[in-house]
Amino acid sequence: MLKSIFILILVVALVTCQEEEGCGMFKRKCKENQYCYKVHPKSLGMCFYYFKKGSLCNDRILCEPHLECKEQKGVFIRFSICDDPSETTVAPTFTTDVKEEVTDTE
């Protein structure tokens, strides 16, 4: 009895994992330059190409990975387009060596 419950839980976990990884009716992986677009989290989804620079974008319509979705202010509306990143984050370089400070005491 306990063994069959364990197997049932294992099968449910496996099916859930496969559903999250695949896209579309046949649960295939999208190509390298595509992403899985889903209307809502439980939908089947379909593979869409990432959008290029200058394309409209939002939280579901994604830009190419090296671009970012930036909000633009029009005369009457606001919209977002794919554009180059505004800043590049560079990690600061500093030494971790602690030098002894020499002070003159007389």
**What pLDDT is stored for residue 25 in this prediction?**
86
Confidence of residue 11 (pLDDT cuts 50, 70, 90): very low
Q: Which of 55, 63, 100 is nearest to 85 (CA)?
A: 63
Q: What is the pLDDT of residues 27-73, one digit of tens each?
A: 899 999 999 998 888 888 999 999 999 999 999 899 999 999 999 98
Read off the tokens for 8. 């049932």
Range scoring the smallest mean pLDDT among 20-24, 58-62, 73-77: 20-24
| Residue 78 one-letter amino acid | R
Q: Strand pairing partners for 81?
A: 56, 70
pTM exceeding the 0.75 threshold for the entire prediction = no
Determine the average pLDDT of the residues in 5-19: 42
Apex 45 CA angle, 43 and 47, nearest 5:
175
